[in-house]
Homo-oligomer: A and B are copies of this chain.
Amino acid sequence: MVNGAIGVFFDWRTGSKAMNIAFLGLGEMGSGMARNLLKNGHMVTVWNRSPRRAEPLHALGARIATNPAGAAKGAEIAITMLADDVAVESVTLGENGLTAGLAKGAAHVSTSTISVGLSERLTAAHAERGQEFVSATVFGRPDQAQAGKLFVAVAGSPDTVERVRPALDAIGQRSFVIGEVPAQANLLKLAGNFLITCVIESLAEAYALTAKGGIDTRKVHELLTETLFAAPVYRTYGELILAGKFSPAGFKMALGQKDNRLVQLAAEKLKVPLPFAAIVRDRFLAALAHGDEELDWSAIAKRAAEDAGLTQI
């Protein structure tokens, strides 16, 4: 019963507590996540910079707020899923931002892929106002967000993490508590995305090599993904690379490059050389220099092909 008006209901459908949740950021990922909160019986108030994207959720029962502060008013939890540091910072700390509306004791759950530095600043900013802050970064592409099948890496004070768990359970198939400092979940998310880029780059190199050696790369893909590399990430990205189908983007090049920048920023601060991240950085820059910013980030594979004098691998 935080701050009077916030209602807490028992949801007979899921056996879990229904919560009053604000959801901010309704892109491909956020829309799917908000939908699953509604499905699980939570009361959801949504906000999005462009209001048009809120309508389908309204039809499913969500209330619509006109600014972040308004959405946060009365919420036990405010979840943000936004594009980058700039968006998260302005939605949280800007005019009519989250911090202005959120009650004392309520929690901001940030699921965006943001910098370690911003995560630290948000932790401090919320603490000053007696609000909680948890980072709950998510692994998965839009179809998994839609299906409630994301994986969640969460970090924050144990009490708060426990309190927000029903919301996390609604959006993901499994949550991993990885530490008590929110920024740790952000660092882990950046490390995870870095590992994905390593899969893309290594496959691109391996396919370029075997293609030039006269092997049918479909057979290479089959062998790899049915043996040692039988993991979703090899299947997904191997398929994309071999099909050469980089549009529409599941995750845009520009966002991929941003995450590469953030992982290097974190590595610089922690003094950790990351030679693979450096190779990938140059792939991203070359891809952007060739106008590929709207393609899926796996299109960095085109650069490995180009280097080998191939147009397709």
Contacts and interface: CB of A to CB of B under 8 A. Distances in A.
Interface of A: 116, 139, 151, 153, 174, 176-179, 181, 183-184, 187-188, 191-192, 194-196, 198-199, 201-203, 205-206, 208-210, 212-216, 219-220, 222-224, 226-234, 261, 263, 266-268, 270-279, 281-283, 285-286, 288-291, 303-304, 306-309
A308 B289 CA distance: 6
A223 B274 contact: no
Give the most central of A177, A220, A283: most B CB within 10 Å.
A220
30 contacts: A139-B228, A153-B223, A176-B219, A177-B219, A181-B214, A183-B213, A184-B210, A184-B213, A187-B210, A191-B206, A191-B210, A191-B220, A194-B209, A199-B202, A205-B274, A205-B275, A205-B276, A228-B233, A231-B234, A271-B288, A271-B309, A272-B285, A272-B289, A273-B286, A275-B275, A278-B279, A278-B282, A286-B309, A303-B307, A306-B306
Nearest to A213: B187
Contacts of A274: 205, 209, 282
Contacts of A216: 178-179
Contacts of A277: 205
A228 B192 contact: yes
A57 B281 CA distance: 46
A132 B259 CA distance: 38
Contacts of A220: 178, 188, 191
Nearest to A229: B231
A146 B212 CA distance: 34
Contact of A282 (B178, B198, B307): B307
B270 A212 contact: yes
Contact of A215 (B151, B188, B215): B188
10 A-B pairs with least C-beta separation: A231-B231, A289-B309, A278-B278, A273-B282, A198-B202, A271-B289, A151-B227, A272-B308, A212-B270, A187-B213
